[in-house]
Amino acid sequence: MAKWKFLTMALVTAVTASGFVPPAATAATAKFQQYTFTLSPGGSFAFKLPVIQGPVRIEVSFTADNGGTQTPSEIMYAVVNEDPDSKQETWVGTNNNGTQTACNSQSTLNCLTVADAPFTPSDTIIAAIDPTDENAILEVDNPAAGSLEIEQSATSTSVDGHYVVNLWW
């Protein structure tokens, strides 16, 4: 045991004396953007993704002044990446009931539906509040412009919805 302790000490001394400094890990600073807005039934709000080569985490909170709470939750979530060269958006979206979809804006026919989430191949829906009635959806607005949209249903909602959208990258 003493022999190994001596060898370890000798190695530490030699590395320190050589001036070797291991490369420091650089921590990326997270960037954040928040939108707060109110939509009437049938209304929509578009926003641009940041122009980066990497994923953007999107959190959406939805509440309505109707004395009730959307079940099972009032949030939807997604991770979206836009390729700056091809202008294609890819995503994994989580609906308010926990079901998920994964897709690519270039070919919605290749979309993957996880846990029986309703999905029409022509849709560009990333995530939804109440995916059956689509009370509110996060969807691709314009892939070439790098924009997404929150849309509130005119048919399944009757009161204004209040939204908080957080983008992290």
Strand 44-48, strand 125-129: pairing: unpaired
Using CA atoms, how far apart are residues 119 and 123, in angstroms rounded to an integer?
7
- What total of structural domains would you count in the chain? 1
The whole-model pTM stands at 0.75
Q: Would you say residue 10 lies in a domain?
A: no
CATH number of the domain enclosing 149: 2.60.40
Q: Residue 128 CB: number of other CB atoms within 10 A?
A: 29
- For residue 138, give the 3-state DSSP assignment: strand
Partners of residue 103 on adjacent β-strands: 91
- What does the pLDDT profile of the chain (169 residues) look like in tens digits? 565 555 555 555 555 566 666 666 677 788 999 999 999 999 999 999 998 888 999 999 998 877 676 667 789 999 999 887 887 888 999 989 998 888 887 765 556 554 444 444 345 788 888 888 888 999 888 888 888 999 999 988 899 999 999 999 9
Which domain does 126 fall in, by range?
Answer: 29-168
Alpha carbon distance 7, 13 (integer Å): 10
Rounded to an integer, what distance in angstroms lies between the CA atom of residue 19 and that of residue 65?
Answer: 64
Residues listed for the chain: 169
Note whether 167 and 57 are within 8 A (CB). yes
